[in-house]
């Protein structure tokens, strides 16, 4: 039985991953003694990915005990794990302390392992073709909850993650402060040490926040979800566009490129009979030209629609996907067709909703 003192101490424990390294340094200043201890702590948390303070073996026992009285290292429960028999993609379902569910995906590859992580529970944008949009938005994920997805996947797979995609549940720009705090940790050599070119934030196009991200100039890659060539078409797919036009969003993309010298991806989900005609492909090429986005740092990612429950949309035939691609290519645009991963376990783009 715990006495009252112990219980209240327990309740006051803080989630260590919610703190930046600078905040953690302040929080432990009075107990660590020598300054170099903070680097050891950070190494255990982010590099060695320890799940309990007992493992911090180069710290004095007393300090380890004090740390575990004040902090905890994990908050998420993995409640389900499904692995694709097709390509090894693994989908994790996490439960938060307040009993909410969200998803992350491990994408193994020969040259690099990536993760696709969530930024919110549910999604306020509610794109008509996306299953995350069918889940009622409840709240932003905290800095720690975003980071812990990566740590838990690394712990579980015993693999190092070297690429991070903010393409899971939610609109990352609407959780801006936490996302930028996470980006700092991903880029820091003392924490994750992931190269800026291996981190991509995907946004539906929240223009002022794309500009703020550009001004922060972290150099990470940006993807913007355009999906349509005129406003009427886009409104059908993305009813809640926050008032930003295709023109505004493409200009924000251009601003991002200019400020960061990074790369820009234009995402375009291809849906049969909605936005996949030859005329649409020509219009998309024209739009990119008009916005000065015909350059080698800009690439179009065509994402053939991945089926979701309750959607009346269909995936176009292979032939029409190729035709769309070729029209863009003939117009001098770098274009890729995104290969769906983990379709047998509902882990592909847009399938992280149930
Ligand atoms: N909120 C972010 C991240 C979304 S997921 C954004 O809007 O960009 C990454 C990409 O998958 C987005 O371009 C998204 O529009 C797309 N997507 C969503 N549902 C899809 C589906 N059912 N099939 C294919 N792509 C989908």
C-alpha of residue 204 to centroid of ligand 1, in Å: 8
Which element (helix H / strand E) includes 90?
A: strand 90-95
CB 85: neighbour CB atoms within 10 A? 9
Q: 299-311, pLDDT tens digit by residue?
A: 999 999 999 987 7
Q: What percentage of the chain reaches a pLDDT higher than 70?
A: 97
Residue 335, ligand 1, Cβ within 6 A: no
Banded pLDDT at 3 (limits 50, 70, 90): low
> Probe ligand 1: pick from 166, 303, 337, 351, max atoms within 8 Å of CB?
303
Residue 127, ligand 1, Cβ within 6 A: yes
Q: 111-150, pLDDT tens digit by residue?
A: 999 999 999 999 999 999 999 988 999 999 999 999 999 9
CA separation for the pair 139, 122 (Å, rounded): 8
CA separation for the pair 118, 147 (Å, rounded): 10
> Probe ligand 1: pick from 102, 164, 350, 353, max atoms within 8 Å of CB?
350
C-alpha of residue 84 to centroid of ligand 1, in Å: 20
> Probe ligand 1: pick from 103, 205, 225, 266, max atoms within 8 Å of CB?
225
* Cβ atoms of 254 and 203 closer than 8 Å: no
Contacts of residue 307, Cβ cutoff 8 Å, sequence gap at least 6: 313, 314, 315
Q: 29-81, pLDDT tens digit by residue?
A: 999 989 999 999 999 999 999 999 999 999 999 999 999 999 999 999 999 99
Tell which wins on pLDDT, 250 or 343: 250
Q: How many Å is the Cα radius of gyration of the chain?
A: 22
Residue 349, ligand 1, Cβ within 6 A: yes
C-alpha of residue 350 to centroid of ligand 1, in Å: 5
Look up residue 199 and give its two tokens.
């981190």
Domains, the chain: 4-72 (1.10.150.530), 77-345 (3.20.20.70)
C-alpha of residue 15 to centroid of ligand 1, in Å: 30
* Cβ atoms of 169 and 123 closer than 8 Å: yes
Which residue's entry shows tokens 């101490």?
9
The neighbouring-strand residues paired with 77 are 95
127 counts as catalytic: no
C-alpha of residue 60 to centroid of ligand 1, in Å: 48
């Amino acid at each position: 039985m715990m006495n009252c003192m112990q219980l209240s101490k327990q309740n006051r424990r803080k989630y260590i991953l919610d703190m930046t390294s600078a905040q953690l340094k302040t929080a432990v200043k009075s107990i660590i003694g020598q300054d170099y201890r903070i680097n050891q702590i950070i190494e255990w948390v982010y590099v060695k990915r320890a799940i309990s303070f007992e493992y911090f073996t180069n710290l004095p026992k007393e300090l380890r005990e004090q740390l575990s009285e004040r902090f905890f290292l994990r908050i998420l429960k993995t409640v389900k794990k499904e692995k694709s028999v097709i390509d090894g993609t693994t989908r994790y379902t996490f439960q938060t302390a307040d009993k909410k569910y969200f998803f992350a995906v491990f994408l193994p590859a020969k040259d690099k392992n990536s993760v696709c992580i969530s930024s919110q529970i549910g999604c306020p944008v509610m794109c008509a073709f996306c299953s995350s949009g069918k889940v009622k938005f409840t709240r932003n994920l905290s800095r720690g909850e975003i980071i812990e997805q990566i740590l838990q996947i690394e712990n579980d797979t015993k693999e190092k993650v070297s690429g991070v995609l903010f393409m899971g549940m939610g609109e990352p720009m609407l959780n801006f402060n936490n996302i930028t705090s996470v980006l700092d940790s991903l880029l820091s050599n003392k924490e994750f040490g992931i190269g800026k070119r291996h981190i991509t934030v995907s946004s539906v196009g929240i223009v002022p926040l794309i500009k703020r991200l550009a001004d922060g100039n972290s150099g990470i890659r940006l993807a913007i979800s355009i999906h349509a060539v005129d406003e009427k078409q886009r409104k059908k797919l993305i009813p809640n566009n926050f008032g930003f036009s295709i023109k505004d969003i493409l200009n924000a993309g251009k601003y991002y490129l200019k400020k960061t010298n990074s790369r820009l991806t234009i995402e375009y989900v291809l849906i049969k009979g909605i936005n996949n005609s030859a005329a649409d492909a020509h219009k998309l090429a024209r739009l990119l030209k008009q916005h000065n986005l015909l350059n080698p740092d800009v690439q179009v990612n065509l994402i053939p629609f991945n089926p979701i429950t309750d959607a009346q949309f269909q995936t176009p035939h292979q032939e029409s996907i190729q035709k769309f691609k070729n029209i863009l290519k003939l117009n001098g645009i770098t274009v890729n067709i995104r290969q769906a991963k983990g379709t047998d376990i509902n882990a592909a783009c847009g399938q992280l909703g149930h």
